Structures are given as C-alpha cells and as structure tokens.
Amino acid sequence: MTLFDRSKRYYQFYAQVHFLTCETCLSHHGEISEDPKHKPPLHPDCRCHLLEFPQPQLEHYQGQAERMKLRAQQELVRRRLWREAVASLNSADPTHAEALFRQAAQVEFYLEEVEQLCAEKREIFEKNPELRARLQKLFIRFYRMKFSLDKYRPIPPRLILAWETAGIERLKELLP
C-alpha cells in the first residue's frame, strides 16, 4: 500500500475452532469490521488473530465469514452435546449418552476430550465393561472418520495413518 492509497481496509477475526477455544473467541470467529472492537489476544493463551484485507475483497470475505460463523456455531453445539452425553453416563440407561456422543462426534472428535472423559468417569467404566466396549467401538469409528475431513487432505497419507494408528491405540488403552 502506497502513502497515497486511501482504500478502505477491513479486518476479519480468526479463532482456532477447537475444543479448547473459549466461547468468547468462537463468538467472534469470522466477524468483519473496519475498526475491530475485539482485537486479539482477548485473554492469556489466546491464539486468535485478525486478517486485514482491502475493500475490493469484501464480498469474498463476507461469504467466508458466513462459513466461519457456521463452523463456530457447530462447535458450540458439539460441546453442548458432549457435555450432555457426559452427564447422561450417570443415568441407569447410558444409551442416551451414546446417541449424544455420536451426534457430537459427527461434527468433530477430539481424543483429548476422551482422555478427560475417561479420567472423570473411570468408576462408571470400571463397573460397566459393556458400556466401555460400546464406547470404544464408537470412538474408534469416529476417530477414523475424522481424517476424511477436508482439512486433513493436505497432510501426507503416511502421517495421517500414523496419527490414526496412535489414536486408536490410545483409545484402546483408555477404554480396554
């Protein structure tokens, strides 16, 4: 941009859509503004950033913003389903929890959340080997499916296979 170039500039907010990303950051994901009110970092360990772009690209970024906001909303729904599933494990009929886990995993699946779940619900899994086996099977299936997402296409197949193999072994350790 030259000294005399006065074209309008815009900023788009980018949050990393992940289970650790805070809901405040997710709520701004895709947001476009001329003078951003919410400039990252919003909190300690914030991994968000702003992308600056010129006015002629506004239409492109507005379309992208809609997709980004949808993805952030899907993550928030996934989290709610996961939390409900975890809470439902305490019930007499854990099949509802399995259905909720299935719905959540169709959006995204995080091995780290399964590790947290297993630490938190160890007693339930020790008392119910049938449930443990069903969840292991379910989680392995969704862990495999996760690598068919578009975001993994640029990654070399051998690396994906290594990640998948290691993740499946970890799931087998967590839910033997």
Taking the domains of the chain in order of start, what are their residue ranges? 9-107, 109-176
- State both tokens at 90: 């305490």
pLDDT confidence bin for 11, thresholds 50/70/90: very high
Instruction: Provide the 10 A C-beta neighbour count for residue 39.
Output: 13
DSSP 94-129: THHHHHHHHHHHHH---HHHHHHHHHHTHHHHHH-H
Cβ-proximal residues to 169 (8 Å cutoff; 6+ apart), any chain: none
51-93: pLDDT as tens digits = 999 999 999 999 999 999 999 999 999 999 999 999 999 887 8
119-176: pLDDT as tens digits = 999 999 999 999 999 999 999 999 999 998 888 999 999 999 999 999 999 999 999 9
pLDDT at 5 over 90: no
118-134: pLDDT as tens digits = 999 999 999 999 999 99
End-to-end CA distance of the chain: 59
- State both tokens at 104: 């959540």
Question: How much is the pLDDT for 4?
Answer: 47
21-57: pLDDT as tens digits = 999 999 999 999 998 887 899 999 999 999 999 999 9
Long-range pairs of 52-61 with CB within 8 A, sequence gap ≥ 24: 52/9, 52/10, 52/11, 53/9, 53/10, 53/11, 53/12, 54/7, 54/8, 54/9, 54/10, 55/7, 55/8, 55/9, 55/10, 56/7, 57/10, 58/10, 58/32, 61/10, 61/12, 61/32
Question: How much is the pLDDT for 6?
Answer: 60
- State both tokens at 32: 């476009």
